Amino acid sequence: MARILVTGGAGYIGSHTMVELLAAGHDVVCLDNFSNSSPEAVKRVQEIAGREVRLFTGDIRDRSLLDSLFHAVKVDAVIHFAALKAVGESVAKPLAYYENNVAGTLTLLEAMRAAHVMRIVFSSSATVYGNPDKLPITEDAPVRPFNPYGQTKAMVEQILRDWCVAEPGAAAVALRYFNPVGAHPSGRIGEDPADIPNNLFPFITQVAIGKRERLSVFGNDWPTVDGTGVRDYLHVVDLALGHVKALDWLARDHGFVAINLGTGQGTSVLEMVHAFESATGAKVPHTIVARRPGDIAACWADASLAHRLLHWQATRSLEDLCASGWRWQQANPEGYRTV
């Protein structure tokens, strides 16, 4: 068992990962500046797990804070979620994304090195692949992101790769997520978009509960099963468990590795809408509109490397993720702001 620093731990994926880390017996230290999250999430993680999370409030770009944290707490490894993450916003505010996501990670790595903490799991993204040449996407596919958000993930991966070459004993796993969805089965933690959701699933749940009038489906003329975009939707609890497995790899191996986390199956927008309606009994009014610039037809993972190296695979169904996400939305119609 280890003591794990989770940066951005109050966020959607971070909060679910903290629950699974605590369940696995690890001690958890959370660092978050709450720019896009709520302290309430940390309270609920502790409630679910029945264990304490040591919380530090602050920013990964604050070197003095990081030095104080590493001095106060002996950390064995870091799981690094803290980042800005909206693709559209990254196009409008690229400097903010490079400064936070890339420069922030450099500051974190410098503080880790000074504290002799040499193991890190990095929250990367399938956006590093851009528009894939073939499906499913394997880890050796070309890395060619076409937006600043994806560029920041690719840059940090390269930094970690170089760091592992330069530093004896350094180990890093970059987990390339596909499309995390759903919520903890308790309904106590889940995805809480601060504004209009950037992703499909929270938009579906907000339409279903009446918060938004209807879902816009961006194009029905893609070369897919029903003309709508196809993605690899992964239950957030499965994703969280992937991070626990990545820590196991860090404990026995050195160097850098990038690993896809996905189901290995594609689901179209309309298939997701129908699956949600079937699982919940709720209706999701939707309208077909023009394609969005920058969208791609289809994207799903080859997750065989995760199975081989991490002994991990997604086990939760589309019905599971729809039901859990709806449970969270119904219990928390305004997210953590209902408290």
**Both tokens assigned to 78:** 């870091």
Catalytic residue selected from 149, 177, 233, 336: 149
3-state secondary structure of 303: coil
Closest CA to 246 of 299, 160, 305: 305
Measured from the Cβ of residue 82, the count of other Cβ atoms closer than 10 Å reads 28
C-alpha atoms less than 13 angstroms from C-alpha of 102 in its C-beta half-sphere: 19
List the Cα angle 94/95/96 in 5-degree steps. 90
Q: Which of 14, 6, 2, 38 is nearest to 239 (CA)?
A: 14
Q: Cα(273)–Cα(285) distance, rounded to whole angstroms?
A: 9
- 129 in catalytic set: no
Tokens found for residue 75: 């950390």
Q: With residue 289 as reference, give the H or E element that holds it.
A: strand 286-289
Could you write out the three-class secondary structure of 117-140? CCEEEEEEEHHHHCCCCCCCECCC
Chain centroid to CA 316? 17
Q: Tell me, letter by letter, the H, E, C secondary structure of 174-225.
A: EEEECEEECCCCCCCCCCCCCCCCCCHHHHHHHHHCCCCCCEEEECCCCCCC
Distance (Å, whole) CA 252 – CA 237? 24
Instruction: List the structure tokens of 6.
Output: 């989770």
Please identify which residue in the block is written with the tokens 């602050």.
58
For the annotated catalytic residues, the residue numbers are 149
